[in-house]
Amino acid sequence: MISFKKQLLLSMIYTFILVLLFQSTALSCTTLIVTPGATIDGSMLVAHSDDNHLIDQRIIYVPAMDHQEGELRPVYCSAAAIDEFPQYASFFYPRINATDRGPGYNTPGFPQSIPLGYIPQVAHTYAYFDGSYGIMNENQLMFGECTDGAKVQLDPKPEKLIFYSSELSRVALERCKTAREAVELMGKLIDEYGYYGTGETLPVADPKEAWVMEMAPSPDETGGLWVAKKVPDGEIFVAANQFRIREIDPDDPDILFSSNLFEIAEKHGWWKAADGHLDWLKTVSLGEYNHPYYSLRRVWRLFSMVAPSREFSPWVEDGFTRDYPFSIQPDQKLSVRDVMMLMRDHYEGTEFDLTKGIAAGPFGNPSRCYGPNDGQGDVGNPNRELLGAWERPISVFYCGYSTICQGKADLPDPIGGILWVGLDKPSETLFIPFFAGVQSLPLSFSQVDTAQFSRDSAWWAFNFVSNWANLNYKAMRADIALMQDKYELKMLELLPVVQKTALEIYQSNPDLAREYLTNYSTQNAEFLVKEWWNFADQLIVRYDDGMFSEPKKMAQQVGYPQEWLDLTDWSQGPITYKKRN
């Protein structure tokens, strides 16, 4: 029997190999904000795809807590920042193992997380949903996230550089009710306690107001650099692994920034006053992340889908293009279901359609499995030779989970806030709602180990269906779409009824309303996960051995499309007894 220590060592070696192979895909996400004036029902929407199969896929509920005067809050290292840090017991799984974060983060059999430092604790912290990054709290404060290339990338330093964006977002969710309050707190923490890791974009919103905060390590290796910009109501913001804030006007009330930004930029030759307004993107980064169009293609795609009248071009001069504004007005207002569909995109119907061409195989599979022969690597090495690169879609095969946070100002926070969770790849998942006022999450969502298949895990249900669809993507994607329509549309139809009932209870007994919302969210989620496992079993039979089966018509031969056969040597097969020339 292999000892725990040996298992842990083997796991670390395996993970290290994966990081070497896939370092450019391990930390890359797509995120967007849809402000109330741009939505059909006046909701604030913040979406995020956590595109990282290496990292802990658990969705954790962190309860509200009361703390003693003089108590300190530990700040833990994050493997999502750059890599695993065994010296701080910071691993891809579990991301945190600490009893001070509630029962969800108590993972037996693993070492306890070691703090990089401490900050003063507050008397009361709010409940929130947590993933690789903080997601949403009980006050309808919500986050998105994407990793960006930066000129400087630093390792954590205890007591000196202790914050990465993940812990910043968690502290904000623990202590804040509004987006501006969260931005100001995170900026203060960066200034005082230091920032390490990669460049980061954090969309942060409440039901009324949305901000985008971007941050990067400082070349002085102390403190950090950050800026934040308010998203105008009625507009949509998109980011995809590249900084999106440009000019920093010190007189603009809708822009905030670190007090040392101009000083540090000038000191290191990144900017000078004669240049005019400091361009944040050009100042702290080398442009686009990974390879040309890795980031900008997704920005173009989302903008072109929500505002086709703008006729944005997918082709730009370079990674510092100004062709795509910070935010835009959509041609038509969006619903939460519209955002779900945006997150499922593979450039269908465009010249970049990943369901077309020889690489998609005979059944139009949009997944492109990356390896050592692909164009990879951060923009930190712009002179590397690129021999080829796949288009990077919004819905990518290595997505671990995606979230859509929905906030409504006209309802009490526990009822108006909804977290829609889609486990695994957005295009093949089901978005499942949890109200901000719930007091727990189903165990199947918070107990996930991607190193061990389990039918007790909700994540594995959706991951299995997504992987099984690779056998015949075109056919199974149609089956999946029918299931998504069936359940997502039904949930959207029922939610106003649930909210109305909860509101009636809340007016006389807020605690009972939270209990009602918890029971509804849990029972609904458990039902849907069970349905997805049943669906998975049906797909196994229906598409067994490359054929199609249904009751009384089993093992129907499907074969390959003629247009794909024409690309192969099929026509040169043994159709005569003559020797092939």
pLDDT, tens digit only, all 581 positions of the chain: 334 344 444 344 333 333 333 344 445 799 999 999 999 999 999 999 999 888 899 999 999 999 999 999 999 999 998 899 999 999 999 999 999 999 999 999 999 999 999 999 999 999 999 999 999 999 999 999 999 999 999 999 999 999 999 999 999 999 999 999 999 999 999 999 999 999 999 999 999 999 999 999 999 999 999 999 999 999 999 999 999 999 999 999 999 999 999 999 999 999 999 999 999 999 999 988 778 899 999 999 999 999 999 999 999 999 999 999 999 999 999 999 999 999 999 999 999 999 999 999 999 999 998 877 766 555 446 677 777 889 999 999 999 999 999 999 999 999 999 999 999 999 999 999 999 999 999 999 999 988 999 999 999 999 999 999 999 999 999 999 999 999 999 999 999 999 999 999 999 999 999 999 999 999 999 999 999 999 999 999 999 999 998 898 999 998 999 999 999 999 888 988 888 77
Backbone angles phi, psi at 550, to 5 degrees: -145, 160
Gap between the Cα atoms of 72 and 371, Å rounded: 44
Beta bridge partner(s), residue 195? 163
> How many Å from the N-terminal Cα to the C-terminal Cα in the chain?
57
Distances from the Cα of 323 to the Cα of 15, 281, 296, 313, 318, angstroms: 39, 14, 10, 8, 10
In the DSSP assignment, the letter for residue 88 is: G
Instruction: Please tell me whether residue 509 adopts helix, strand or coil conformation.
Output: coil
Residue type, 261: L
Q: Burial-class residue 110 by CB neighbours within 10 Å (0-12, 13-18, 19+).
A: middle
Q: Name, in order, each residue with C-beta under 8 angstroms of 383's C-beta and a sequence gap of 6 or more.
A: none
Q: Which of 279, 230, 280, 227 is nearest to 254 (CA)?
A: 230
Gap between the Cα atoms of 565 and 576, Å rounded: 18
C-alpha count within 13 angstroms, C-beta hemisphere, residue 490? 10
Is the bond preceding residue 94 a cis peptide, omega within 30 degrees? yes
